[in-house]
Amino acid sequence: MTAPAPRPLIFAADLVLPVSSPPIRDGALLVENGRIAAVGPLSEVGRENPGVEVRRFPRHTIIPGAVNAHAHLGFRRGDEPEGGSFSRWMTELISRLPEKAAWTPEAARNSAREAIEAGTTFMAESSLYGECLPQLAESGLAGTVYAEFLPFELGTPEEAVDFIEEKVRSLREGLPSRVGVETSMHAPYTVDPESARLAAQRVREREGRLATHLSESPEEYEFISKGTGFLADIFERFAQVDWDGKGDSPVRYAESIGLLWPGTIAAHLATGVSGEDIGILARTGVAAAHCPRSNEYLGCGVSPVPEMLGRGIRVGMGTDGLWSSPSMNLFEETLFAVKLHGFDGEMGLALATLSGGGRGDAGSIRREPRDGGVGGGGGRRGGGDRGRRGARV
Ligand SMILES: [Zn+2]
């Protein structure tokens, strides 16, 4: 797997936006071994790295790669289930799962390529038993594949969680260092409470990360609070345990079974997220993945992102998959959010990049230079900025 290290290069543009620190006019970045090793004014980066080739991009701006905080690679464009309601969409999706298996790998390859061409460098991908890991790893993307599991296929909750833990361990073998594998608790209506609780406990014990869909739809809210509606049937089929509603919101339910801690990414949070729920999300330190185009397509409402940011919750952007979203372009997703919430461009860029990378929350973006910026970069620098070492190109 080890190829000879590529020679270092300096990329220079009229403007460099590190996002974690103020814009740099006539800026440059040094790339060594596929990683950004320095960011600063071209005059300084060039002086400190004599003899390194400079590639100039006049009238261009260099920005960080997009971080997709919630995506599914294994769907394709053109034959998506009809939108408008989550239950109708989900019914069609489930009915087509058998035929989908034949084209999932090709869809995953195409989705990954589309994401890369749109400037994505990192993706949190969720797929059943991590089935899209090969395509993510081959694509060149960095990312984490969150392996979803269906406990009803796997025996008791203990057996199901043993299986998924072993699956995560085995999927990690032989991967390039840019790719990781973690566990996904798919959703409260497909995983029974005991399996979800045990899975989260095991992930937490090994200091891993957990992804989950949470408070996505009106149907989910009704199912969690009252135990009725369309998802009661889905739950009966997938989770196969008694359920008569918790009288609680999905967020409170998730907290009650130990799903919420700083290692958790909760996707969607689009329906019925109250001020009290936001307080729980803030207190438990959960990160949120905002997928506004998917939420609109499925009639799921608008996530209270400004309020979450105001409470210091980390929010990143997610495209979801091509059966609920028109593209894998994270910047298009973010522009949609910018218009939806009335954000400015600076906030949008932070949501698409730094915030999704978990290296700061967009709500704390400042406009003044400062030391020790949210990305660890520091303010104005004299080149050789070690704080940015490790950021991907
Ligand atoms: Zn999703």
Read off the pLDDT of residues 347-375 as tens digits, 9 standing for 90 and up: 999 999 988 766 444 544 433 333 322 22
Amino acid, single-letter form, for residue 59: R
- Mean pLDDT computed over 138-155: 94
Q: What's the 104 CA to ligand 1 centre distance in angstroms?
A: 15
- Mean pLDDT computed over 291-297: 98
Q: How far apart are the first and last CA of the chain?
A: 20
| pLDDT score of 273 more than 50 | yes
Q: Answer whether 9-64+370-388 and 66-353 agree in fold.
A: no
Q: What's the 296 CA to ligand 1 centre distance in angstroms?
A: 13
| pLDDT score of 1 more than 70 | no
Q: What's the 317 CA to ligand 1 centre distance in angstroms?
A: 12
Band of pLDDT at residue 240, cut at 50, 70 and 90: confident
Residue 34: predicted pLDDT: 83
Task: List the CATH code of the domain at 66-353.
Answer: 3.20.20.140
Retrieve residue 138's tokens: 């081959």
Residue 358: predicted pLDDT: 61
- Mean pLDDT computed over 343-348: 95
Residue 311: predicted pLDDT: 96
Q: What's the 248 CA to ligand 1 centre distance in angstroms?
A: 22
| pLDDT score of 341 more than 90 | yes
| pLDDT score of 335 more than 90 | yes
Residue 378: predicted pLDDT: 28
Amino acid, single-letter form, for residue 225: S
Q: What's the 228 CA to ligand 1 centre distance in angstroms?
A: 22
Q: What's the 334 CA to ligand 1 centre distance in angstroms?
A: 16
Band of pLDDT at residue 5, cut at 50, 70 and 90: confident
Cα→Cα distances 245→104, 212, 238, 258, 343, Å: 34, 19, 16, 18, 37
| pLDDT score of 13 more than 90 | yes
Q: What's the 70 CA to ligand 1 centre distance in angstroms?
A: 6
Give long-range contacts, CB 8 A cutoff, 24+ apart: 157-163. 157/192, 157/194, 157/195, 157/198, 158/198, 160/195, 160/198, 160/199, 161/195, 161/198, 161/199, 161/202
Domain boundaries along the sequence of the chain: 9-64+370-388, 66-353
Q: What's the 267 CA to ligand 1 centre distance in angstroms?
A: 7
Band of pLDDT at residue 159, cut at 50, 70 and 90: very high
- Mean pLDDT computed over 232-257: 90
Q: Does domain 9-64+370-388 have CATH number 2.30.40.10?
A: yes
Band of pLDDT at residue 241, cut at 50, 70 and 90: confident
Q: What's the 47 CA to ligand 1 centre distance in angstroms?
A: 46
Retrieve residue 59's tokens: 């009238």
Q: What's the 160 CA to ligand 1 centre distance in angstroms?
A: 21
Cα–Cα distance between 76 and 32 in angstroms, integer?
Answer: 35
Band of pLDDT at residue 3, cut at 50, 70 and 90: low
- Mean pLDDT computed over 228-245: 86
Read off the pLDDT of residues 103-123 as tens digits, 9 standing for 90 and up: 999 999 999 999 999 999 999
- Mean pLDDT computed over 19-45: 96
Nearest to 202 by CA among 246, 263, 248: 263
Q: What's the 316 CA to ligand 1 centre distance in angstroms?
A: 14
Q: What is the mean pLDDT of the chain?
A: 90
Residue 2: predicted pLDDT: 58
Residue 392: predicted pLDDT: 35
Q: What's the 26 CA to ligand 1 centre distance in angstroms?
A: 40
Q: What's the 363 CA to ligand 1 centre distance in angstroms?
A: 24
Q: Is the pTM of this model over 0.95?
A: no
Q: What's the 318 CA to ligand 1 centre distance in angstroms?
A: 9
What residues flank ion ligand 1 with Cβ within 5 A? 320
161: part of which helix (H) or strand (E)? helix 157-171
- Mean pLDDT computed over 296-305: 97
Residue 290: predicted pLDDT: 98
Q: What's the 289 CA to ligand 1 centre distance in angstroms?
A: 9
Read off the pLDDT of residues 55-69 as tens digits, 9 standing for 90 and up: 999 999 999 999 999
- Mean pLDDT computed over 111-137: 98
Inter-residue contact 76 to 32 (CB < 8 Å)? no
Q: What's the 358 CA to ligand 1 centre distance in angstroms?
A: 19
